[in-house]
Amino acid sequence: MKDLPPVARFGGRVMTGLLDVTSDPAALDSQGRWAVVAGFEGRLTCARFRDIRDIRPLPRRAAPATRWNGPGRAEWSTSLDRAAYTAGVRRIREHIAAGEVYQANLCRVLSAPVASGADIEALADLLASRHRAPYAGMIRLPEHGIEVASASPELFLRRTGRVIESGPIKGTGRTEADLLEKDHAENVMIVDLVRNDLGRVCATGSVTVPGLCAVEKHPGLVHLVSTVRGELRDGAGWADLLAASFPPGSVTGAPKASALRIIEALETAPRGPYCGGLGWVDADRGTGELAVGIRTFWIDRAHGRLLFGTGAGITWGSDPDREWEETELKASRLLALASHVEPARTPADPLSPGPHDGPRTPVSPTPGEPSRPPTPVSVAGLRRSAGSPDPPRRTRTPG
């Protein structure tokens, strides 16, 4: 789809008119407005755009639009099947028992064939209309091999001048009653890790925790979310901030270095933009917002695949089967949305909004649609991939 123009949509704004692309994080402190994709393995792409348009308030009606042409529900495969994933959980518990790590995030990558004409922006429209998320976004840079649509509920980094804020998520359940003591303990571990990361680049004594283990409701599940805040020390910028905090603590583990070594040994497919950072930066105003790249789809055109990641944080208190079920819970609703052909909109249909900050509860259905959510896709029976089409892992510090 190299004939489609570059575009990014984050924070209620659409960005067009691509000016330049760089992998240098220092550019984020130069000038202009940027869309950012930081892959978990370390590939950083910063795209500066000329034209920024606010997409709120939304128009009342939509013209016909390109539809999403998704894979069949039976076409998804997984990098780790249930047996391999639960074995990985048991192996992490052995590392914990040996004192090497307190927590590690174990992920798997799902993939399915994607039509040559599939447009990631159409998938982003679908996600935004049926699965609102506070940090949703999309970016399409065909010449640079980047096509990503995210329904992320998690804040990685927000910058307002010198003030930095992070909102790590740890603890997931269908309802608040499903959250266990293990989930709260895991959240506190990761908050401590994020405090340490920000402390490396913030002024001494400025890092605080304004909120700890708040329950947030999202479509189909609930999360425990905390807030960590600090003030950048003099002379520090985006390059320092990313070097200190990337990859996000909530999708790695504690201690981070040990968790990354375990992840490298157990996971069989690179995460790519999944578990990285996605968002926007306004260098002129010294502001920006990056989400953790969870609940995220991306397209690998070279291999004709649509990919999606899911995972869970593993602690000593983890039950292997329960952790597998958590990965199922996180994936099922979004796979259901992506695994069908979305009809083109007509002038009588309300506009499906682009990715933007939205409510943390499901939106009302389009008139004529059933009120129930899409039927979840059980990913338990997905076949294990024979191999990953993704490139080898890389160093994880962006830039």
User: Which residues are marked as active site?
Assistant: 154, 170
Listed in sequence order, the DSSP H helices in the chain are 82-97, 120-130, 181-199, 238-245, 256-266, 320-338
Determine the Cα–Cα distance for residues 105 and 239; give it in Å rounded to an integer: 25
Peptide bond into 247 cis (omega under 30): yes
CA distances from 286 to 28, 94, 137, 238, 280 (A): 9, 44, 20, 10, 11
CA distances in angstroms from 92 to 19, 247, 316, 327, listed in the order given: 45, 19, 8, 16
316 with 185: CB under 8 angstroms? no
Q: Before 57, cis peptide (omega within 30)?
A: yes
What is the dihedral angle through the alpha carbons of 191, 171, 332, 304, rounded to the nearest 10 degrees?
20
Of 15, 17, 62, which is closest to residue 37 (Cα–Cα)? 15
Cα four-point dihedral sign 191, 196, 202, 203: positive
CA distance 305 to 77: 11
**DSSP secondary structure string, 186-252?**
HHHHHHHHHHHHHHTTBPTT--EEEEEEEEEEETTEEEEEEEEEEEBPTT--HHHHHHHHPSPGGGT
Structure tokens at 168: 């790590």
d(CA 293, CA 107): 13
